[in-house]
Amino acid sequence: MFWELIGIAAASLTMFSFFPQIFKVLRTKSVKDVSPIMLLQLSGGVSLWIVYGLHLKNLIIILANSITLFSLIVLLILYMLYIKR
């Protein structure tokens, strides 16, 4: 049970780690300091974690990385929208 709580805590921190960046981009309408390479690389890694979680049938890994991937996709979309400004 202790290790599951550690996993849930780690997943929660990871899942919501990009939300402050998303809010900042929406507020400033600037992506000047956002690295698209980092977003793409991390999206690839998170996608592989989802595949690994599916293999293990581990709901925490699947959900945490799915939410993280969603936030990365949102940030990539915002990057594409605001890079031209």
pTM for the whole structure: 0.88
Count the domains in the chain. Answer: 1
Mean pLDDT of the chain: 93
Tell me how far apart the alpha carbons of residues 13 and 80 are, in angstroms, rounded to a whole number. 26
Q: Read off the CATH number of the domain in which 54 is found.
A: 1.20.1280.290
- As given in the structure block, the two tokens for residue 74 are 């949102």
Model pLDDT for residues 7-64, shown as the tens digit of each residue: 889 989 988 999 999 999 999 999 998 999 999 999 999 999 999 999 999 998 999 9
Q: Which of these, 44, 39, 52, lies nearest to 78 by C-alpha position?
A: 39
Domain interval for residue 18: 2-82
Per-residue confidence at 1, pLDDT binned at 50, 70, 90?
confident
Please tell me what DSSP assigns to residue 37. H
